[in-house]
């Protein structure tokens, strides 16, 4: 500004001098750039840390759901084998009025019990699925302002691979 106000300097020289960067300005600019770079790196690290936390929670939710489904399937397997053994023996124990009694077990009764077992398993899996969806809503709401919808892409690929390989 001093150069512009100097009447003894030509206009061109005054403008050039006022627009030039002296050593102090260059140092300030370099310092500002370094600070901005540090802030950008810190922000990136914070975002990556949030993504890692989200990913960890998502894996745990998916693993818990898979374990619950495995438990339901394992229980159904044990019960179906028990029903088959009862059919082979032609007898099954039932509880009636608080007392266990052995009755004749026929193929039609076996089919009915197997359907009941499938219905119970489907209900249990649906309940586990509802719990998973509830936890997923909680997870999404815990990371408001982040692009967590895109963070789920690897999980979608993993889940598709699991489903594709079940067939």
User: pLDDT tens, 30-77?
Assistant: 999 999 999 999 999 998 998 889 889 999 999 999 999 999 999 999
CA–CA separation, 26 and 90 (whole Å): 94
What mean pLDDT comes out for the span 123-139?
95
Question: Residue 15: pLDDT above 80?
Answer: no
Q: What is the pLDDT of residue 63?
A: 94
Structure tokens at 30: 């370099």
Q: What is the pLDDT of residue 140?
A: 86
The DSSP call for residue 104 is E
Mean confidence (pLDDT) of the chain: 87
Q: Count of residues for the chain?
A: 167
- pTM beyond cutoff 0.75: no
- Residue 41, judged by CB atoms within 10 A of its CB (0-12, 13-18, 19+), counts as exposed
Inter-CA distances, 99 with 88, 112, 166, Å:
23, 22, 42
What mean pLDDT comes out for the span 144-154?
70
Instruction: Give me the percent of the chain exceeding a pLDDT of 70.
Output: 89
Domain map (residue ranges) of the chain: 1-64, 79-146
């Amino acid at each position: 500004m001093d150069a512009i106000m100097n009447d003894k300097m030509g206009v061109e020289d005054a403008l050039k001098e006022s627009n030039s960067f002296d050593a102090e300005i260059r140092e300030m600019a370099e310092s500002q750039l370094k600070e901005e770079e540090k802030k950008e790196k810190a922000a990136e690290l914070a975002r990556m840390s949030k993504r890692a936390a989200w990913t960890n929670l998502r894996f745990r939710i998916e693993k818990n759901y898979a374990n619950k489904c495995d438990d339901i399937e394992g229980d159904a397997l044990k019960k179906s084998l028990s029903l088959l053994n009862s059919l082979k023996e032609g007898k099954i124990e039932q509880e009636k009025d608080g007392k266990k009694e052995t009755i004749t077990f026929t193929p039609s009764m076996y089919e009915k019990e197997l359907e009941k077992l499938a219905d119970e398993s489907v209900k249990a899996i649906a309940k586990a699925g509802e719990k998973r969806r509830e936890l997923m809503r909680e997870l999404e709401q815990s990371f408001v302002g982040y692009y967590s919808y895109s963070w789920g892409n690897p999980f979608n690929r993993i889940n598709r691979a699991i489903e594709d390989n079940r067939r």
